[in-house]
Structures are given as structure tokens and as C-alpha cells.
Amino acid sequence: MKKLLALIIALCLMPLSSLPGALAEEADDLIVEDVVEEIPPEGAIPAGGTEDGNTFVDDDTGETYVLTTEEQQKLEDLLEEQPEEEEGIDPDSLDLNPNLPDSVINILLIGVDTRSSDPQEIIGRGDTQIIVSVNRETGAIKMTSILRDTVVPIPGYRNQTKINNAYQYGCNKIKKGTVQEKIRSGAALAMRTINKNFEMNIQSYVAINFNGLASIIDALGGIDIELTKGEAWYINKYLKEHPPAYDNKARGERTALQVVAGTQHLDGVQAVMYARTRSLKGENDFNRTDRQRHLLDLLLQKVMEDISIDTLMDLLDVAYNYAATNMNLETMFNLAVSLIPALSGLSEAGAESLFEQLRIPADDTWKYGTVNGSSVVQFKRSAHPAQDIHQFIYGEYFAAK
């Protein structure tokens, strides 16, 4: 149960995210009610388990999974607060590749760069775009980062531009609609742009702004990250010179990081600054995407290993409020359950990372260029980025036509 909740929260933690509406019908017919019914009543000791106060632990797996009456009620309240129906985006408008296998669900995680002081404001450039690919048969998770400065054609627009503009262009198409309609339009164009350029089949998203991510990390109690001396120095310097519009700490309350190499505890704003760092000597956006994926990995591990079930459900409420997605909680449960075996196996094997990772453009497939006076990343003529992504996710290439 804890792993299941952790995985749901992880989807909202990504600022860096959802699934097709049909997934609820396809994912082994497992629905939320089935999950809740399997929770033993308070005071009961499950088969093969032992009791330790109010906590029940499975002897075989070490999994803590019994909720108290209050915790179970909290979970049911959360589910009641969320919409029963998912907010659909017409799949016919997304340039889907119909030839990709159904066994893998691809989710677009969008981290929005907005200068708003409101952590729930999710309109701006999609500066972080990560494809999270979940194999529903094996539970394997793979993450593909697309550099924000990568130049591609955006469907419906004449000139090529940076891929991070697609989300904002989509938001701006809705002149008089609601904020939710703008976000949905932005996500649709971001997904369509990736599908068209990389022959993908993404129908789902989770979007969050960087301030919202900081709030969620603070709700987690911060995160321990191994830093270089340069990273620690840069985080301190940037936050001093450019205090964020939104911050959970009062001015002067934050303790500066030690300018040394080693593991340090970062609050939400510091952790987000770590993930956005790309200006150290000899570094660029390639290094930033490495840090983003590393932060996601650390956050998921912390949620799975260090947080109580009661805290998990409080955190789920926070995370869901800061993220915009076309998934409802039932769909998240179905997806999370399919991942538990693989993540358990990784944990038992002592794997350093819960994800396999890829960066696009791949090595030796890109070059720097200039578009409208701005430095950009361009694919070489010999590059085949769609093939690179397919090979990473599926093990082979599936042409769209």
C-alpha cells in the first residue's frame, strides 16, 4: 500500500507529468475499490504478518500496509474529492503513432517556467519535458529528457523554434477560456509536438510549475543530495541574487549551504535550484537534465522508503493540488499497482536508480546553432531521434507510417 501511494505521489512530484482514459479499462480490471477492500481492518493481522503496535508488517516483504481507521477514511476522502471522469484531450488531434506497442504507456511530464508568485500558476514555457515510459507488463520505468533548447517544427506554426515554446503557444491559443482550458490546450500542443517529431503516442500529461514543486518537496521535509562544491556555491549565489517570487521561507530564514563537496540537506527552493542549474563552468542544459532526472529519482526513493503512510496521504493531497493532469486518482492507482513488482525487485537488488534514463539529443547527433539571435540545439542531418527514443523504450524502431 505504501509503495502504491508513493508512486501516485511521484507522478505529481514530477515537474518535471497522464494516461489515456481507456487505461482504467485496460489495466487488469483493477479499480480503486479493489485496492481499498484488500486492506485488512484495524486490529487484524494479515496472513504471514506480524503486529508491532498499530503497524502490521509482511514478514516476506517487510511491507507496511495496514491503515488505521483514520488513515483509511483519509484515503476515501481524498478519492471523493477528485473528479470521477478524466479531463479528455481528443486523441485524434495529437498525431499519434498507431504502430507503437500497447504494452508501454508514455506520459509527458511538463515543468513550467513561470515568474508568478502563485505555486498553482501553470502557464508559461514548458522548460522541462520528460517522457516517462511505463511498461505495464514488466513494470519497468524509463525516462527520456528532451533539451528545452532543441529546435523542432511545432504543428500549426510556420517557423521552427525551441521545443519549450510548444506548451506556452498552446496556452496562448485560448484567449478567453478558463485557466484549466489554457493548461489543457498547452499540454495538448506539447504532446502533439513530441508525437509529431519523435513518432510517439503520448496522450497524457502532468504539469507543475517550479514553485509548486518546491512546495511539494518542502511538504516531504526536504531532500538530501550529494553536491559538488560548485553546485553548493552556485545555489547559494543564485538564491541570494535572485530571490524567488514564491518561497516557503521568510527572507533571511534560509540557512546557506556549506560550500563543500558532499551530501547536504536541501529545502524545496534549494532542490529546485539544483535541478535548474546549468551555468557552472563547462556545463550546459545537458547537465541540467541529468540533475532533473537525479532529483526525481531521489524524491521517489524518499517517498518509498522514509515516509509514513499517514504522511503519504497528506502529501498526496498537497501534490495533487499543485499539479495539473488529465489523470484521475483511480487511473493513478491502476498504473501504480502495475509498477510495484518491478520497483520491489529493484529495491531488493540494491539498484542505485529506479529508472533507466536517456537524453535527447543523444551524443554525437546534435550541434549548436542560432535562431533569431538565440543559441539553440539542432539535430545533425544524420540524426534519427525518433529511432533513438524507440530503441531505448521498446528495443526497436516503429515507424509512424
What confidence tens digit (pLDDT) does each residue in 153-186 have?
Answer: 999 998 889 999 999 999 999 988 888 899 999 9
pLDDT classification of 24: cutoffs 50, 70, 90 = very low
Could you tell me the three cell numbers for 205?
A: 500529461
Q: Is the pLDDT of residue 134 over 70?
A: yes
Residue-averaged pLDDT of the chain: 75
pLDDT classification of 68: cutoffs 50, 70, 90 = low
Q: Is the pLDDT of residue 235 over 60?
A: yes
254 compared with 260, residue with greater pLDDT: 260
Q: Is the pLDDT of residue 224 over 80?
A: yes
Q: Is the pLDDT of residue 267 over 70?
A: yes
Per-residue model confidence (pLDDT) at position 6: 53
**Helix H segments across 242-284?**
268-276
pLDDT classification of 276: cutoffs 50, 70, 90 = confident
Per-residue model confidence (pLDDT) at position 301: 77
Q: Per-residue DSSP letters for 22-82?
A: THHHHSTT--HHHHHHTSPPTT---TTEEEETTEEEETTT--B-PPPHHHHHHHHHHHHHS
Which residues lie below 8 Å from residue 61, measured CB to CB, with a gap of 6+?
344
CA pair distance 361, 359, nearest whole angstrom: 6
Domain boundaries, the chain: 2-212+294-394, 220-285
Per-residue model confidence (pLDDT) at position 326: 85
* Average pLDDT estimate for 95-99: 97
At CA 91, angle to CA 384 and CA 174, rounded to 5? 100
Per-residue model confidence (pLDDT) at position 71: 60
* Average pLDDT estimate for 326-350: 63
- Report if pTM > 0.75: no
pLDDT classification of 139: cutoffs 50, 70, 90 = confident
Q: Is the pLDDT of residue 217 over 50?
A: yes
| 232, 264 Cβ separation under 8 angstroms | yes
Q: Where is average pLDDT lowest: 277-286, 297-306, 315-324, 390-399?
A: 277-286
Per-residue model confidence (pLDDT) at position 206: 86
- DSSP, collapsed to helix, strand or coil, labels residue 183 as helix
| 370, 376 Cβ separation under 8 angstroms | yes
The architecture (CATH level 2) of 2-212+294-394 comes to 2-Layer Sandwich (3.30)
Expressed in percent and rounded to 5, the helix, strand and coil fractions of the chain are 40, 20, 40
Per-residue model confidence (pLDDT) at position 127: 82
Q: Is the pLDDT of residue 34 over 80?
A: no
Highest mean pLDDT, choosing among 71-85, 308-322, 340-354, 358-372:
358-372
- DSSP, collapsed to helix, strand or coil, labels residue 248 as coil
Helix (H) or strand (E) holding 227: strand 223-227
Sheet holding 324-325, edge to edge: 324-325, 204-209, 104-113, 125-135, 141-146, 356-360
- Looking at residue 198, its amino acid is F
36 compared with 9, residue with greater pLDDT: 9
Q: Is the pLDDT of residue 26 over 60?
A: no
**Between β-strands 262-266 and 223-227, what pairing exists: parallel, antiparallel or unpaired?**
antiparallel
DSSP 8-class letter at 249? S
DSSP 8-class letter at 153? P
CA pair distance 393, 397, nearest whole angstrom: 9
* Average pLDDT estimate for 130-159: 87
